[in-house]
Each structure stands twice: as structure tokens, then as C-alpha cells.
Amino acid sequence: MPASPLGHTLAVGKLVGLLVGLLIVAVVAGIGYQEWTAAHAPVAAPTAPTVVPPEDLPNPDLTPGMADAKVTQQTLKTTVCVGGYTKTVRPPPAYTDQLKKQQMREYGRPGKASDYQEDHLIPLGLGGSPTDTRNLWPQPRAGYWGSQRKDDLEYYLYGRVCFGGLPLEQARHDIASNWVAAFQHYRPPASNQTVD
């Protein structure tokens, strides 16, 4: 028996309704996906300034960087590469706080002492001298080349020296001669850790 025109019309209507429903779902899903991808797109990392402000590097006449003679390539596994080593050699805050104030005057640093970290140019984790004033300087905390960025470099170099085959003297030389250039060369990831 032939299909009735009413039955055919209902079937076509259901099919059209289904197609319209699928089209609406596809459009909504597409808009939702666009909004999700826009919200979750990677954020570009801040670009490094082309000129490094002089206050972001230590004065080489005042702070050339000094190493601890007890830490050598041959003693790595019994010194800096031993977990907790830096705690055993870190100078007390009474020493570094007083020195930071003195060096802020010598460096002509404005602001409060809390604006600076008394930094070991050659970090303790690379066998930098703990107390030699020629290895300590008032490093700005803020700015693109602030103390956290140098801490990231220190942590990266520590890993390369202790576990990755980078010679200790090379790491010390690179960080002491120009830590910003070393950062640009090695491109360490952000670590939020320090071995200073």
C-alpha cells in the first residue's frame, strides 16, 4: 500500500527538525570551542629588554665573584652535589643583612633593603664563597632581570654541573662574567627554586 502524503510530510518534518537540531549543536559547539581555545591559548613569555639596566649586573670592580677553594671538579660529589650542602655553608642573616646595607651605599642603590637580595654572584650551589664580600652584591628583586631570573639560572647550572656534564669552572665563569648573557645562552626554564 502506498505511503500517505501525511506520513511522508511527517517523516520529512522529523528529518528537517533533526538536521536543524544537529546544526544548532554544531554551531554552539564551534563557538564554545573558539571561546575555550581563546581562553586557553598560550601566553607569550615577556620578551627580554634589549638593553640590560646597569643595576641588574654587579659592578665587576666591587663584585668580581669568588669561589670557595674547597669546591673543585674533583670534590663535587662530596660538596655542592650533596643534598643540603648550601645550608652548611650559608652565612647567617645577621652577616648578610648588615653587608647588604653597606653594599647598597657602595653601589648607590636607592630604596629599602627589602628591594634587594644579598646575592652570591657565584652561587653557593656552584661553590661560590659564602662570605667573601667580592662574591656578594645587592641584587634588585624586581624587574625582568630581577633575582628570580638569576635564581632560575643558578638552579639550571647546578643541575648541569652535578648531573649533566657541564664543567664547574665553565659554569662559574659564565655566571660571574655576565649572568644575563649566561641566562640568554642557556635559556633555563623557570624553576621557582634556588641553590644560592
Domain ranges of the chain: 1-41, 54-186
58-67, 101-110, 172-181, 186-195: least confidently modelled range = 186-195
Question: Do the Cβ atoms of 123 and 137 come closer than 8 Å?
Answer: no
Of the candidates 32, 56, 125, which has an alpha carbon nearest to the alpha carbon of residue 86?
125
Q: How high is the pLDDT of residue 42? A: 47
133 pLDDT exceeds 80? yes
51-55, 70-74, 82-86, 158-162: least confidently modelled range = 51-55
Of the candidates 120, 115, 102, which has an alpha carbon nearest to the alpha carbon of residue 58?
120
- How distant, in Å, are the alpha carbons of 151, 168, 193, 195 from that of 159? 12, 11, 12, 10
List 139's β-bridge partners, or say none.
Answer: 117
pLDDT band at 188, cuts 50/70/90?
Answer: confident
195 pLDDT exceeds 70? no
Give the whole-angstrom CA distance, residue 145 versus residue 57: 9
Question: Do the Cβ atoms of 62 and 176 come closer than 8 Å?
Answer: no
pTM over 0.85: no
Q: Average pLDDT of the chain?
A: 85
Q: What 3-state class would DSSP assign to 79?
A: coil
Give the whole-angstrom CA distance, residue 140 versus residue 127: 22
At 57-97, the pLDDT tens digits run 999 999 999 999 999 999 999 999 999 999 999 999 999 99
36-45, 53-62, 91-100: least confidently modelled range = 36-45
Surface-to-core class of residue 29, CB atoms within 10 Å of its CB (0-12 exposed, 13-18 middle, 19+ buried)? exposed
45-59, 96-110, 124-138: least confidently modelled range = 45-59
Question: Do the Cβ atoms of 121 and 61 come closer than 8 Å?
Answer: no
Q: How high is the pLDDT of residue 184? A: 92
Contacts of 47 (CB under 8 A, 6+ apart): none
| CA 167 to chain CA mean position, Å | 22
Q: How high is the pLDDT of residue 23? A: 62
Q: Between 18 and 57, where is the model more confident?
A: 57
Surface-to-core class of residue 146, CB atoms within 10 Å of its CB (0-12 exposed, 13-18 middle, 19+ buried)? middle
pLDDT band at 14, cuts 50/70/90?
Answer: confident
